[in-house]
């Protein structure tokens, strides 16, 4: 019997905000530093801002590590370059089910004030007429066992929706994917959260990264950024389920931020004065320290990967537009 898998991963995340006209002022909130919980441990983290800016670190209401910075001078570009070295381990194996009696302790958990916000409708995860019709048409019901019901729900959404980047935006309501059947990981996750909350299961959104090296043949997620959901279950605590890939969250899923929905866990948010039309280019790479190529050894020494103000040799600042 094999034990839990542990991997040491390097993550490089580059976000470039490009403005058609000079921007005079900008304020940006970052949620890019992974969490130190749930089987993962941040070994090193480095953040570079161009143009140079002082970052103010803080922890938000949901326990996410955040950085705030402002640029109070004329600029056409802002580049955020994040480097992480992290150790990630599989969570303990789950049982096949919890049984029908699990709903009673689950109801007690849901009644706790600290979990109310994960049961109430939120901006991107709320009931709608289309959602009710979708559940009726697909035979989606609460079921006798909460864990089995959630696993079955993930399988249903995986089968009914098609992973199609570009079909939805970060501010798309769930009705969009319900109408078209096409979307990305955040759409799958918002639908699953909305349904689980209607069953009385405290549910939260997770944004992070996905190590795709261990996911042959699965849908994965464009650019290695990803989203999935966690559900508060009796005896198990917060349990991650990835509807996009119809799998449980494990060492491949690097948790960065949690919240009620995408709005609470977005990697970047901000406001700008001036600038005209803008474009955001994002590049994300995730490597296994020991197994993948390119490895840090390809970039001279691993320590150089974390030098603030230094772009890793051989890599462009902006690899592709999302």
Quickly state the pLDDT bin for 243 (edges 50, 70, 90): very high
Quickly state the pLDDT bin for 186 (edges 50, 70, 90): very high
CATH of residue 148's domain is: 3.10.620.30
Q: Residue 171: pLDDT above 80?
A: yes
Q: For 188-198, what is the mean pLDDT?
A: 98
Alpha carbons 92 and 240: distance in angstroms, whole number: 12
Quickly state the pLDDT bin for 214 (edges 50, 70, 90): low
78 and 213 within one domain: no
- Sequence-ordered list of residues with C-beta below 8 angstroms from that of 147, at least 6 positions apart, any chain: 94, 95, 97, 98, 102, 233, 236, 239
pLDDT of residue 2: 66
Q: Is residue 112 part of a domain?
A: yes
To which residue do tokens 């109801």 refer? 107
231 and 113 within one domain: yes
CATH of residue 15's domain is: 2.60.40.2250
Q: Residue 60: pLDDT above 70?
A: yes
Nearest to 148 by CA among 205, 199, 108: 199
Nearest to 177 by CA among 200, 252, 169: 169
pLDDT of residue 317: 27
Reduced to 3 states (helix: H, G, I; strand: E, B; else coil), residue 38 is coil
To which residue do tokens 């098609």 refer? 162
229 and 114 within one domain: yes
pLDDT of residue 215: 56
Which domain covers residue 53, as residue numbers? 6-89+267-306
- The domain tally of the chain equals 2
pLDDT of residue 4: 87
DSSP string covering 241-304, please? EETTTTEE--TTEEEEEEESSHHHH-SEEEEEEE--SEEEEEEEEEEETTT-SS-GGGGS-GGG
DSSP string covering 222-241, please? GGGEEEEEEEEETTTEEEEE
Q: Is residue 260 part of a domain?
A: no
Quickly state the pLDDT bin for 276 (edges 50, 70, 90): confident
pLDDT of residue 235: 93
Q: Are 85 and 10 in contact (CB under 8 A)?
A: yes
Q: Are 253 and 89 in contact (CB under 8 A)?
A: no
222 and 165 within one domain: yes
């Amino acid at each position: 019997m094999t034990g839990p898998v542990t991997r040491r991963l390097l993550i490089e995340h580059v976000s470039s905000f490009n403005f058609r006209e000079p921007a005079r002022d900008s304020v940006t909130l970052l949620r890019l530093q992974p969490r130190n919980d749930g089987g993962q441990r941040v070994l090193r983290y480095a953040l570079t801002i161009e143009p140079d800016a002082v970052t103010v670190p803080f922890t938000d209401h949901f326990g996410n590590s955040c950085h705030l910075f402002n640029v109070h001078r004329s600029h056409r570009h802002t580049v955020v370059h994040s480097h992480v070295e992290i150790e990630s381990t599989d969570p303990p194996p789950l049982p096949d089910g919890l049984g029908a009696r699990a709903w009673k302790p689950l109801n007690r958990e849901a009644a706790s004030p600290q979990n109310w916000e994960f049961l109430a409708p939120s901006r991107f995860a709320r009931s709608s007429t289309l959602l009710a019709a979708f559940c009726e048409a697909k035979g989606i019901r609460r079921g006798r066992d909460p864990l089995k019901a959630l696993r079955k729900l993930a399988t249903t959404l995986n089968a009914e929706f098609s992973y199609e980047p570009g079909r939805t935006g970060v501010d798309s309501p769930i009705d969009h994917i319900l109408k078209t059947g096409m979307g990305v990981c955040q759409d799958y996750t918002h639908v699953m959260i909305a349904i689980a909350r209607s069953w009385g299961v405290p549910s939260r959104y997770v944004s992070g990264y996905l190590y795709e090296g261990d996911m042959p043949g699965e849908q994965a997620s464009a650019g290695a950024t990803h989203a999935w959901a966690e559900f508060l279950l009796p005896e198990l605590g917060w349990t991650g389920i990835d509807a996009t890939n119809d799998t449980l969250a494990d060492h491949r899923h690097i948790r960065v931020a949690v919240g009620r929905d995408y709005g609470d866990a977005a990697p970047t948010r901000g406001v700008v004065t001036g600038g005209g039309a803008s474009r955001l280019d994002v590049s994300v790479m995730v490597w296994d320290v020991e197994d993948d190529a390119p490895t840090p050894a390809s970039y001279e020494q691993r320590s150089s990967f974390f030098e603030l103000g230094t772009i890793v040799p051989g890599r462009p600042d902006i690899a592709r537009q999302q």
